């Protein structure tokens, strides 16, 4: 399966042109697509419903959207009737396989006086794969401000991952009156393994990276944890200090996979030809 993570900058490309169809074409070959900076009803993008438009260009993919920033964008039409509308900014996951359940997790937010600080989060989608069984996929976007604002978000993300299996699926157990439909569709799984995709806004030599994949030993190299995450880019044979997903020449977009999935990784690459955003898509091929 091919996975791709792409911060789409609400559809505005390197040429400053807003084009969601171009974004969809750039990721259409992927089986699982994790998008960040997807907006709804902002004037800058024509007040459109971007998740719905992206989904219309990718009709073979199931999809979910997680609104992190959510404010009022309602108005009254020419007859004076209220049109309820939300101005939203968040993440999206699309999958060729059905998304059996989904949750959106808001991450800790740092309140600033003058710098732009927005609510961010991690969108979760559970899919059941042919070879690896149920897997949790996350589309994540962390703070751009500093390591100090990101570290609590990393800790929250790791805590969400750690407690998910004990929380169970979207519903679990039974119901005293199943005939009322409460158990319709069957109990969704909540697997132990996960894949974290997204724009993490940190580099390989940061404390945040170390918190996810383990510390670096000058003598022994990266000390990956036995039951933690590994960087798919590295497992695929690339170096930590190479690759760029933003024009500044830095790799800040990642695919972290549970250690038990590491042996399934086949390749990882950055598509440097894409022009639909100020980021480049990060691709991972993995046997799921």
Arithmetic mean of pLDDT, 121-144: 98
Tokens 């927005």 belong to 118
Tokens 């396989």 belong to 97
- 45-59 exposure pattern, b = at least 16 Cβ within 10 A, e = fewer: beeebbbebbbeebe
For 8, residues 6+ apart whose C-beta sits below 8 A from its C-beta are 20, 23, 35, 36, 37, 38, 276, 277, 279
- pLDDT of 205 reads 97
Statement: residue 231 has pLDDT above 90: yes
Q: Minimal CA–CA distance to 3: which of 264, 207, 276, 251?
A: 264
Arithmetic mean of pLDDT, 178-193: 92
24/33 Cα distance (integer angstroms): 10
Q: Minimal CA–CA distance to 93: which of 129, 140, 46?
A: 140
pLDDT, one tens digit per residue, over 45-78 is: 999 999 999 999 999 999 999 999 999 999 999 9
Statement: residue 92 has pLDDT above 90: yes
pLDDT, one tens digit per residue, over 138-171 is: 999 999 999 999 999 999 999 999 999 999 999 9
- pLDDT of 209 reads 98
In order of their start, the domains of the chain are 2-172+185-286 (3.60.10.10)
Q: For residues 89 and 37, is the Cβ–Cβ distance under 8 A?
A: yes
pLDDT, one tens digit per residue, over 245-259 is: 999 999 999 999 999
Beta strand residue intervals within 53-159, DSSP E: 62-72, 75-76, 82-83, 86-95, 99-106, 121-129, 133-141
């Amino acid at each position: 399966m091919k996975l791709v993570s792409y911060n789409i900058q609400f559809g505005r490309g390197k040429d400053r042109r807003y084009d969601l169809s171009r974004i969809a074409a750039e990721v259409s070959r992927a089986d699982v697509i994790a998008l960040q900076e997807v907006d709804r009803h902002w004037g800058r993008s024509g007040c459109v419903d971007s998740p719905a438009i992206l989904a219309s260009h990718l009709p073979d993919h199931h999809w979910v959207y997680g609104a992190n920033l959510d404010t009022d964008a309602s108005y009254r039409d020419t007859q004076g009737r209220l049109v309820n509308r939300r101005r939203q900014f968040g993440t999206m996951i699309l999958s060729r396989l059905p998304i059996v359940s989904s949750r959106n997790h808001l991450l800790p937010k740092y309140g600033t006086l003058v710098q732009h600080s927005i609510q961010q989060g991690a969108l979760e989608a559970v899919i059941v794969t042919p070879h690896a069984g149920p897997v949790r996929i996350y589309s994540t976007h962390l703070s751009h401000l500093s390591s100090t604002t990101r570290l609590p978000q990393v800790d929250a993300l790791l805590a969400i991952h750690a407690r998910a299996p004990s929380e169970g699926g979207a519903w679990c157990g039974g119901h005293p009156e199943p005939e009322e439909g409460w158990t319709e569709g069957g109990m969704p799984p909540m697997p132990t393994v996960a894949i974290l995709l997204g724009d993490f806004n940190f580099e390989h030599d940061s404390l945040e990276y170390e918190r996810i994949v383990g510390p670096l030993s000058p003598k022994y190299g990266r000390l990956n944890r036995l039951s933690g995450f590994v960087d798919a880019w590295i497992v695929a044979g690339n170096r930590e200090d190479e690759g760029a997903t933003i024009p500044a020449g830095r790799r800040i977009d990642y695919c972290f996979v549970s250690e038990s999935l590491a042996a399934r990784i086949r390749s990882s690459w950055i598509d440097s030809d894409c022009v639909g955003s100020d980021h480049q898509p990060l691709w991972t091929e993995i046997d799921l």
